[in-house]
Chain A
Amino acid sequence: MDKKKKKKLFHWGRILVQIVMFLSAPSLFAQAFAAVKETAGTLGKGGVLTVSGFVIRLFILCIITFFFGRIFCGWLCAFGAVNDWIYQLSSFLQKKTGKKLPRIPEKWIPGLQKIKYFILLFILVCCFFDRSGWITKNSPWTVFSLLTARNLKLAEYMTALLFCLLFVIGMIFHERFFCQFFCPMGAIFSLLPELPLTSLKRQEKDCIKGCSACQKNCPVHIKLGGNNLQSGECIRCGRCLTICPKGNISAGFHKSRL
């Protein structure tokens, strides 16, 4: 198979996986995060920790992240897929109409990416003090879960709906807007240790001078520093693998290039 075909297969393969996961497990991310909320709540009440179905889901996702990095975010998460699809549609329309939407300045991005840790902390504190109902009532994920269950009784969740709409607008302007800036589940994953099995590496000495196509196209703005592209932000989408004109980027132990 030639390179171009391989790249196309990779691109559409990921979209296919995302569609399948969206249809089969649309609330997996919320269920795994429910384990976090539930644990914080139990700690707050002084109760006994239990291994519920949610905890098992969270555990499995953490193990996957430990071995393979955040492939859950990049390939399996339904909400991540929505982030991707909205932005893909938006950039398609921007190309068609020739109008460009304003972009978030590059220098703000590292700061914005830290917001998710504060959101995680805020949710943990709320759950600890037995306010998880309040989180559920205002969470955009609640709206998403209700919609994917085809439940349209959203009247009680107006603030949640408002948040959801704001995030959708953000997703139109910026790729992976929710995931990289606000997702509390992503915050947990990015704090986990990751084995370098699927980490991305770059043969920097072969790079075309001033190219940085990988950085420009990275949805989560990973800074390029030498050969190592390892970062807690990396969602293993593999865009840099397909975009590099020289095929300089490899996944895992140096060999498996696209």
Chain B
Amino acid sequence: MALIDQLNQLEQEALAALERAADLTALAEWKSTYLGKQGALSRLSRGLGALPAEERPAAGARFNAARATLEQALERAEAQLKRAARQHAFEADRVDVTLPGRAPAIGRLHPTTQMLRTIYNVLGEMGFQVWESPEVETDEFNFQLLNMPPDHPARDMWDTFYVETGPGEPTLLLRTHTSPGQIYAMRANAPNPVRAILPGKCYRYEQVTARHEMQFFQVEGIAIGEQISFTDLKGTLVAFAERLYGKGVKTRFRPSYFPFTEPSVEFDIECFLCGGAGCRVCKHSGWLEILGAGMIHPTVLRNGGYDPEKVSGFAFGMGPERMAMLRYGIDDIRWFFSGDERFLQQF
């Protein structure tokens, strides 16, 4: 048989054998059988020397082509086998991606803390800084300096826990609001202007129900200066409400009464639960009371060390628990101090 015919036969045979090679070992074996230095192709090529000189170049080229064909076939076979092996590994590695992940154990801040931080941030940008004052107060700071002398009827607005004291000692009570802090902040700054917020725990002698707690937080704010008027109070509170409840939130100011402000204001926003149509949460009024405010009473300014004829200012107070209740739709204030993880882990 002519050399070229033998070559063609070998090529066919090798390609067929390659088809049958099922794994990398078989491929290596095939490679040495056909393409190795002592392989079939090399052995057959030795017959080239016996050919007539004029036939040799063409036959040599044919041998090279056959080697290239086989090498390419091998490469393809190798690649395919690798792909198949990887595919197999993938199959073995497959996970149920719907199984739960490994959660890092990150705790949560109390919703009151979160609400306080929001308040600090928004008001901080307007220059209001945090001041703190005692929770156990004297009658003087909780009432008298805030324009509520003994027997003032407005004292009824705050049901008070009193602390037992010995004979001759001044009356002590649990502050019913953070308003006494106003006096501290004023006295620390008078006669200079001040913008302060006073957060903290307050207490009321009140039966604990879903809506009322004996303990709660409050944030009081004051701004005092030489040209602060009621219009600034309105502007500041609306800016605050827009940061918390969205640009363009509908607001309402209505006259109210606090002994330490005059004029006094109740600040409402349109109920975001019912859009003003009236619901249980807004007591069918369409409005939510967000905070109380007013122009600081001249007597209080004087008690804080300011001259009420030269400076004026406004004050406001809000309840972070109430705000959190509205924000999250919490229906029972008692959860806040329950320490119950079923509550705490929701925020």
Answer yes or no: are A and B bound together in one complex.
Answer: no
- Chain A interface (Cβ < 8 Å from any Cβ of B): none
